[in-house]
Amino acid sequence: MIDKIRRLPAYARWATYATIGVLILTLVQELGQNQTSHLTATSTAQTALKWSIPILLAGLGGLFAERAGIINIGLEGMMILGTWFGAWGAFNYGPYWGIVIGAIGGAIGGLIHAIATVGFGVDHIISGVAINILGPFAARFLSSEVFTGYQGGSVTQSPRVENVDKFTMPFLAGGYETPNFLKWLGDKEIPLLSDIGNILRGILTQTSWATIIALLLVPISAYVLWKTRFGLRVRISGEDPWAGESQGVNIYRYKFIAVMISGAFAGFGGAFISIEMSSIYQEGGTTGRGFIGLAALIFGNWRPGGILAAALLFGYPYALQFGDFDGFASHALLLVNAIALFGVVIWALRNDKRTDAAIAFVLGSLSAIWYFVSDTVPDWWVKILPYVIVIVVLIFFAQRLRMPAANGQIYRRGQT
Amino acid sequence: MNSSMIRRIGLALAAPTAAVLFATIASSIFLVIAGSNPFTAYGDMFEYGSRLEIQVDILNRATPLYISGVAAAIGFRMNLFNIGVEGQYRLAAIVAAYVGASVSLPAFFHIALILIVAMLVGGAYAGVAGVLKVSRGVNEVISTIMLNAIAISGLIAWLVREWQAGGTVDATGANLGIGTEPIDESGLIPNINSWLELFTREIGKGKELTGVLLVAVAVGVLYHIVLNRTRFGFDLRATGINPFAARAGGVNDKRMVLGAMVLSGVVAGLVGMAEIAKLGRFNPNFVGNLGFAGIAVALLGRNHPGGIAIGALLFAFLDTASGVLQVTGSASREIVFIMQGIILLAAVIAYEVVQRYRIREEARMASTLLAGEAEE
């Protein structure tokens, strides 16, 4: 069956995976006697999507850099620049310009990374770490110079800024005073179908245009990287720059442009945090989401669709924290984890990977036992869940992932 | 001293000097744009930094920075990026503070226990990333970043509440607020004011020079010895320069990765000790970001024990001396953050350029030597 799914076209494959995911959530909900309806609630889906966007944008940013062979661990620093410039732009010129200016701020970070790594051949990790240190420092200095002069601003935060306009899908989610089909479906309380309806309604209701643009960047990135001449040249820079060089491609130029696009995406992600999520620039507002984006890139196997899936997966536990006052839904996640891990056991056994199967079985059992002996989980568990997922996923799949062949190597023109 | 040696030393100093000079000029431009006079600002900082009490503050700040720098450098020497010092030292500090508060021992054993617990916790937490790398091929950059987040937003946030000393009141009756139980006096590393006062006048204003400075010096000396005088250090450097050659030479690379990672974590565990000695406990205001600053300091000092010390002192001077800018109002103190960031980036680039130049020079010298031999 798995092979059959694999042979489907991309959209059908992803739809199948998503349905399986919702099916698991539904099953867990039935087991929890509907105390856990929060798992597939409309509001949860809405928040989860919102929380996924910065991670998605950071991941897509990482995609461009690493497809061009430049490891970009500086995404976090570029994202921080994006939060500052985004808020500054939004305060002075409105939210749309805020996003553009945030992206430019991130691109400046990308430019610095490109100058160091491409121009001077500095180790990518070292330059990235330096940018992660420079980013918050620069934001601090800029705030002390600029925001302290504004009403309601200080060294650590900006005044409030406006959000981007929102969009609700007509007919499906009842936008523009049309019938609300998905609400009707959700109210029917049919297992699975109503859950899917609720989730879709969350995604299609009151969606920010910034979210829609960010989601559109997924197919656009795929198209640019795999269907255009520019993308081919970016990818040859990451797979085998010397081969590209022999064909007359100016590798330096493509690496430079790709790293700046990378910074711009991360900056967009940062601006999204300031403008759409907190309506304010706050020091430390990224809370490491640039790093999570990097993890999404790896988890997504350096592909746009995979990055989107990873971003949604990481955004979901964040969203679950909100409105889950009794902690039942977070608790139910333990069972979801267990089911997923037992899935890994089956996968590992089919591929004759005994160690993997054993590790997954132990982790899955622990998760299941924890679920059955407790009624709630402490709040810190949900907070660390995205990070734990990253590590657990890498434990099983680190060897199977394929990054661009020349990723992280220092390329100097004319030297092999 | 022959001319080639002078050249070598000159080249080694060229990069950091150029970086600091570049950063000073760039920061001056920022200051002028912001409407401040750079000369007054720098003058204020140097005047302030020349006072004995402020120098004590600088040393106190440089101490954890140095230890953190060495922790990062141990990994860097073999191209192993332990980004996780941040999480390792904070986790080590809270556990050490808890254990230290739950026993009462004679001073020597009490202090030793706290230091050992901190080292064990730091080493064990870094070891997780090491095990993941050698057994499952998980990249240490990603795993240590994730472990940082797990430690800081998960484990520590939980432990602080779990080990909360309920509304403890100190001897003067002041409420201590949130945090772990206070450690007995015997567990606190004493200040070493008397040592410094052998050379200087009496230290005023109640400033205390942290005794952890001695620990930092010991860490630096041990780092130098282990790296340059032991088999492990040799293997470590060999793996860093050329992992394939090292493996061919019989180095067990998996054991090296694990060993270096754990050692890095052990040192990282000591980073928070100065703060523990000062506060006598762990609380939510515990000093942060020392892990990332340590990476910067290690990069600045090229992973060399002496270089890291200079880097730590430089950053500590900037952090501390900038405090005066708020008082005199000659510039906003955040300018030193910009300076630190630019120094770091400029130094990293300058090292790379000098390194290239040196390789080219050596190749040129070798070729002239060979040409000379051929003529004979």
Tell me the per-residue pLDDT of B83-135, one tens digit each, with 9 for 90 and over: 899 999 999 999 999 999 888 888 889 999 999 999 999 999 999 999 999 99
**Residue A415: per-residue pLDDT:** 77
Q: Percent of chain A having pLDDT more than 90?
A: 40
The residue-averaged pLDDT of B292-302 equals: 90
Interface probe, candidates A391, A399, A409, chain B, greatest B C-beta count within 10 A: A391
Q: How does DSSP assign B136-198, residue by residue?
A: H---HHHHHHHHHHIIIIIIIHHHHHHT--TT-B-TTS-B--SSSPPPPGGGSPPP-HHHHHT
| Closest residue by Cα to residue B314 from B27, B10, B23, B62 | B62
- Which residue of B lies nearest to A125 if distances are taken between CA atoms? B81
Determine the Cα–Cα distance for residues A129 and B295; give it in Å rounded to an integer: 8
Residue A109 neighbours by CB under 8 Å, 6+ apart: A74, A77, A78, A81, A131, A134, A135, A263, A266, A267
- Which residue of B lies nearest to A378 if distances are taken between CA atoms? B158
Is 70 exceeded by the pLDDT of residue B166?
A: no
DSSP A277: I
**Residue B218: per-residue pLDDT:** 95
**Residue pair A68/A224 in contact by the 8 Å Cβ criterion:** no
Determine the Cα–Cα distance for residues B350 and A232; give it in Å rounded to an integer: 33
Query: What phi and psi values does residue A167 have, to the nearest 5 degrees?
Result: -135, 135
Asked if B24 reaches chain A (Cβ–Cβ under 8 Å), the answer is: no
- Which residue of A lies nearest to B160 if distances are taken between CA atoms? A380
The residue-averaged pLDDT of A365-392 equals: 85
Q: ipTM of this model?
A: 0.85
Is 80 exceeded by the pLDDT of residue B170?
A: no
Residue found by looking up tokens 């985004």 in the block: A86
Which of the residue ranges A241-250, A372-381, B160-169, B186-195 has the most confident prediction, judged by mean pLDDT? A241-250
Query: What phi and psi values does residue B169 have, to the nearest 5 degrees?
Result: -115, 135
Specify the 3-state DSSP secondary structure of B103. coil
Kindly indicate the confidence band of residue B172, based on its pLDDT and cuts at 50, 70 and 90: low
| Closest residue by Cα to residue A124 from A70, A77, A76 | A70
Distance from CA of B324 to the nearest CA of A (A): 16
Is 60 exceeded by the pLDDT of residue B247?
A: yes
Interface probe, candidates B326, B344, B351, B354, chain A, greatest A C-beta count within 10 A: B344
Is 70 exceeded by the pLDDT of residue A324?
A: no
| Closest residue by Cα to residue A293 from A256, A319, A262, A259 | A262
Is 90 exceeded by the pLDDT of residue A240?
A: yes
**Residue pair B284/B160 in contact by the 8 Å Cβ criterion:** yes
Asked if A357 reaches chain B (Cβ–Cβ under 8 Å), the answer is: no
Amino acid letter, A141: F
Q: Where is A208: in which H helix or E strand?
A: strand A207-208
Contact A390 B142 (CB under 8 A): yes
**Residue pair A150/A91 in contact by the 8 Å Cβ criterion:** yes
The residue-averaged pLDDT of A83-107 equals: 95
Least confident of A28-37, B65-74, B85-94, B349-358: A28-37
Q: Looking at per-residue confidence, does B325 or A362 come out higher?
A: A362
The residue-averaged pLDDT of B289-310 equals: 91
Which of the residue ranges A87-101, A186-200, B312-326, B332-346 has the most confident prediction, judged by mean pLDDT? A87-101
Specify the 3-state DSSP secondary structure of A160. coil
**Residue pair B300/B347 in contact by the 8 Å Cβ criterion:** yes
CA torsion A80→A86→A89→A91, rounded to 10°? -100
Is 60 exceeded by the pLDDT of residue B171?
A: no
Distance from CA of B2 to the nearest CA of A (A): 31
The residue-averaged pLDDT of A133-141 equals: 89
**Residue B19: per-residue pLDDT:** 85
The residue-averaged pLDDT of A295-303 equals: 89
**Residue B375: per-residue pLDDT:** 63
The residue-averaged pLDDT of B342-357 equals: 88
Is 90 exceeded by the pLDDT of residue A203?
A: no
Determine the Cα–Cα distance for residues A22 and A5; give it in Å rounded to an integer: 17
Kindly indicate the confidence band of residue B175, based on its pLDDT and cuts at 50, 70 and 90: low
Residue A293 pairs in a beta bridge with none
Alpha helices in chain B (DSSP H): 3-33, 38-49, 52-76, 85-101, 107-136, 140-149, 157-162, 193-197, 212-229, 231-241, 243-248, 253-269, 273-279, 290-300, 305-321, 323-328, 335-375
Determine the Cα–Cα distance for residues A61 and A55; give it in Å rounded to an integer: 10
Average pLDDT, chain B: 87
Is 70 exceeded by the pLDDT of residue A1?
A: no
Least confident of A377-386, B42-51, B349-358: A377-386
C-alpha distances (whole Å) from B89 to each of B93, B103, B248 are: 6, 21, 35
A112, A120, A129: residue with CB nearest B352: A120
**Residue A325: per-residue pLDDT:** 65
Query: What phi and psi values does residue A166 have, to the nearest 5 degrees?
Result: -115, 160
Q: Where is A224: in which H helix or E strand?
A: helix A209-227
**Residue A35: per-residue pLDDT:** 63
CA angle B53–B24–A109, rounded 5-degree value: 115
Other CB atoms within 10 A of residue A407 CB:
17
Is 90 exceeded by the pLDDT of residue A322?
A: no
Q: Where is A207: in which H helix or E strand?
A: strand A207-208
**Residue pair B82/B261 in contact by the 8 Å Cβ criterion:** yes
Which of the residue ranges A32-41, A320-329, A366-375 has the most confident prediction, judged by mean pLDDT? A366-375
**Residue B352: per-residue pLDDT:** 87
Interface probe, candidates A132, A394, A396, chain B, greatest B C-beta count within 10 A: A394
A121, A130, A291: residue with CB nearest B344: A130
CA angle A53–A54–A60, rounded 5-degree value: 85
Determine the Cα–Cα distance for residues B207 and A242; give it in Å rounded to an integer: 59
C-alpha distances (whole Å) from A346 to each of A361, A366, B15 are: 9, 17, 56
Residue B65 is encoded by which pair of tokens? Answer: 């920075």
> What tens digit of pLDDT does each residue of B200-235 get?
777 777 788 888 999 999 999 999 999 889 998 888
DSSP A274: I
CATH number of B64-317: 1.10.3470
| Closest residue by Cα to residue A217 from A289, A273, A268 | A268
Kindly indicate the confidence band of residue A36, based on its pLDDT and cuts at 50, 70 and 90: low
| Closest residue by Cα to residue A303 from A383, A393, A219, A177 | A219
Is 60 exceeded by the pLDDT of residue A187?
A: yes
| Closest residue by Cα to residue B332 from B107, B45, B14, B86 | B45
Distance from CA of B158 to the nearest CA of A (A): 7
Distance from CA of A337 to the nearest CA of B (A): 17
| Closest residue by Cα to residue B263 from B255, B274, B253, B251 | B255
**Residue B308: per-residue pLDDT:** 94
Is 60 exceeded by the pLDDT of residue B168?
A: no
